[in-house]
Amino acid sequence: MTAPRSDTPVPRTLARKLHEIRSDYPMGSRILGRLLLGLVLLWASSVLIFCGIEALPGDFATTYLGQAATPQAVANIRAELGLDQPMLTRYLAWAGGILHGDFGTSWASGQVIADQLWHRLGNSMLLAGCAAVIAVPLAVSLGLLAVLYRDRWPDKLINLVSLAAVSLPEFFVAYLLILWLVVQHPVAAFPATVYDSMSIWEKLHTIALPVATLVLVVIAHMMRMTRAAILSLLSSAYMETATLKGLGALRIIVRHALPNALAPIINVVALNLAYLIVGVVVVEVVFVYPGMGQYMVDAVTVRDLPVVQGCGLVFAGIYILLNMAADILSIFVNPRLRHPR
């Protein structure tokens, strides 16, 4: 006996709905997945940053008051700053304030952290942006040149120089530039630091050495990955067909190989751009540059935890954002990801 049919439709499960959305909008679902993953990673980063800084030895109250401080004075400072509360309570208060754009107040200076963060971030972005404008096109061009003259002296010279540049840490490159271009062979009078009253051209002149350091550090990795990505495509069947048709080597590389190698190149460029912003700490300290890195190092010295946490979260957010942008751009430039079967 057949069960009577009901006029009420059977409710679909959430998994089935999500599957239909992915089928109807494959590209949109992939982008949405990257965005959700970025938010989860940012939350996880905030937890790791907060817990990691809390686990560091030492105490701000003791550092601030000195070794001669009485236990009662230390306890009063800790109570005033909320350090006597449970860690979960302090994390929720900190995370809730960040959701409203409030990073708190510096324990050492009493300044609003958000104002200092955006000001310092602008200086770091100027430094990283100038380095990126020089490094990215130069690295891609050198990678194309190395492929065009592969196994000949230009390719060998580029690989040798890039390998040497990768092997040197950024602080060593910075001190070498200072030794050669400032001490031994001064080519220009470089100011000691950047001031707000400077014009944009004066600032660009001031950051010439830090920018040169960052360019030398990141250009080698991008160049080698560009070369490797294009060389892996030159052995493909359609590349052999283009060669048999009599097309020139430069046209084959630029018109046919480079567009298909954009996805891995975009990923490695995004990683190096993230490094230019997140990894400027050492360079800013060497050149006494008033950016995010110098701000965080100064805060670590005096155990100013809200500043360190705020800088760490901003660095993590920038790194996640750039990697997420690279993933989304890779979807756009790869037809197999835009139109999956």
Residue 205 belongs to domain spanning: 114-338
Residue 109 within a domain: no
Q: What is the pLDDT of residue 1?
A: 45
Q: Is residue 8 part of a domain?
A: no
Q: What dihedral angle (degrees, nearest 10) is formed by the CA atoms of 64, 67, 69, 74?
A: 50
Please choose, from the candidates 136, 133, 144, 142, the residue with its C-alpha nearest in 3D space to the C-alpha of residue 261: 144
CA separation for the pair 322, 118 (Å, rounded) = 18
Residue pLDDT tens, the chain, 341 long = 444 454 444 445 655 554 554 555 566 777 788 888 889 999 999 999 888 887 777 666 776 666 666 777 777 877 877 777 888 888 898 888 888 888 888 887 788 888 888 888 888 888 888 888 998 889 888 888 888 888 888 888 888 888 887 788 888 888 888 888 877 777 665 655 555 566 677 777 778 888 888 888 888 888 888 888 888 777 776 666 766 676 677 777 777 677 777 777 787 888 888 888 777 788 888 888 888 888 888 888 878 888 888 998 998 998 888 888 887 877 776 655 555 55
Indicate if 221 and 88 belong to the same structural domain: no
Q: Do 90 and 121 sit in the same domain of this protein? A: no
Query: Do residue 266 and residue 122 come from a single domain?
Result: yes
User: What is the dihedral angle through the alpha carbons of 86, 88, 91, 93, rounded to the nearest 10 degrees?
Assistant: -80
- Which two three-digit tokens encode residue 222? 């991008």
Residues 337, 31: Cα–Cα separation, whole Å: 11
Q: List all residues 6 or more positions away from 316 whose beta carbon is below 8 Å from its beta carbon.
A: 42, 45, 46, 49
CB-count exposure of residue 109 (10 Å: 0-12, 13-18, 19+): middle
The per-residue pLDDT for 190 is: 61
Q: Which of 29, 53, 42, 30 is nearest to 322 (CA)?
A: 42
At residue 279, the 3 state secondary structure works out as: coil
Evaluate whether residue 301 is within a structural domain: yes
- The reported pLDDT for the residue numbered 8 is 46
Residues 78 and 150 in one domain: no
Q: Do residues 91 and 118 both lie within one domain?
A: no
Q: Are residues 36 and 135 in the same domain?
A: no
Note the pLDDT of residue 187: 66
Spatial CA neighbour of 34 closest among 329, 332, 328: 328
Q: How far apart are CA 277 and CA 140, in angstroms?
A: 20
314 Cβ contact list (under 8 Å, min separation 6): 117, 121, 292
The CB-side HSE value for 177 (13 A sphere, CA atoms) comes to 23
Does residue 107 belong to any structural domain of this protein?
Answer: no
pLDDT score of 6? 47
Q: How many CB atoms lie within 10 A of CB 1?
A: 3
**Could you tell me which of 205, 223, 335 has the C-alpha nearest to residue 269?**
223
- Answer yes or no: is 238 within a domain: yes
Number of domains observed in the structure of the chain? 2
Q: Tell whether 52 and 155 lie within a shared domain.
A: no
Note whether 273 and 318 are within 8 A (CB).
no
Residue 265 placed within a domain: yes
pTM for this structure? 0.76
Residue 136 shares a structural domain with residue 92: no
**Cα–Cα distance, 169 to 11 (Å, whole number):** 60
Q: Are 22 and 329 in contact (CB under 8 A)?
A: no
In a domain, 108, yes or no: no
- Let me know whether 94 and 174 are in one domain: no
End-to-end CA distance of the chain, in Å?
Answer: 42
Contact 306, 103 (CB under 8 A): yes
172 & 80 share domain: no
